Structure 1
Amino acid sequence: MKTDRTGAAYVLIPSPPHAASHAPFLIMHTPVTNAMWRAAVAAGACSVPHTVRAYDDPAKAHHPVVHITRAQARQYAAWVGGRLPRDAEWTWAAQGDDGRMYPWGDQPPDATRANYGMHIGDTTPVGSYPAGASPYGVLDMAGNVWEWVDDGQCAVRGGAFSTDADDVVCDSVCEGDEDYDDFNVGLRVVSSGM
């Protein structure tokens, strides 16, 4: 597994077998955490999140960073040598080629697969739901935090801890604007460098 300057692990996602929509790429195994974001802030590469309550809490170092605008997400991605995923890449990493409804398959979400529906009421540490892994082993692609994608339109994918089961399906998308940030919006990074 490749890692970046923060120690974040990346998973290799192959090209689709029947289409040339994208080349193989690497995607972060989990979303960016508060600890990773703090390293970027300390290096002068990024600004602090809009709201810092969770960001400043040492007990939430391994929770996903939230309150990140798309511009901030792009800055972080560039700092670690990557970029935000394109919509098709994010979907492929979450769903694979079998048309599954959720990253883990077609079974409805439950407390072993995703943090959603305000069952916990907050983010959880990244990687807490291994039973919810995508076909490629990518974690947290359903629930916990929405994740920025970058295809021209401002959109986030994957649902969050605060959204219901309908928003954690692989094809769920929420549109915002360039300055949108919220208590349930974070990011993960892709890299073509293999």
Structure 2
Amino acid sequence: MTKNPLKVGFILFAITMLTFFIVYYFFANANYWNTTMQVNAFGMTFLYVAAGFISTYWLRQGTRITYPQAFKQTFVTLFTGGILSMLSIFLFLNYVDTDARDMLNHQYIQTELKNLDEAYAQKKVEVANHIDRNKITELETDYKNAKIGREAALKENRNYFSFKFMSAIFGGFLLFYLMLSIIIAGFMKNKKRYEE
């Protein structure tokens, strides 16, 4: 198997895009947003952990590697797969199938509104017998403001897949890649820096 992290990153990118298109073709329905989030939370997390581990394991085969070598191998693999995937998904949703983007945006805001209503109902029960009436007023005000904000986003057709939003999301992914690289490198190194 290849020890080049860029090649492993390209393989990771190909698997990520295959998964994206499977979800796109078979699950673009009323639950498209929820299905996408579940695949990202569980499937993609497992895939990227496995890819980072396997890439570093292949590098280690037949040789001894230091922590910096293991870290670089893992991070370059994850970064390559991640940046190519994010760019491809951005381009696809913004220039190829804007209807899918609009559906995801709409379902995201609907999910936010549903979660807001559920949280409000639960907190309303909690503060119903509260002595401090300001708590109830504060809850009502916060709920109304949050609802107005989400309804405004729905009316505006706000694009949560714009370059600005996707860049912010990728910033979060970079932190994930960094932490994962630190952990995997710690487990996979089998040589100290000063060893010959």
TM range, smaller chain: under 0.3
Q: Which has the larger radius of gyration?
A: 2
Q: Which has the higher strand share?
A: 1
Q: Which has the higher contact order (CA 8 A, sep 6+)?
A: 2
TM-score normalised over the length of structure 2? 0.26
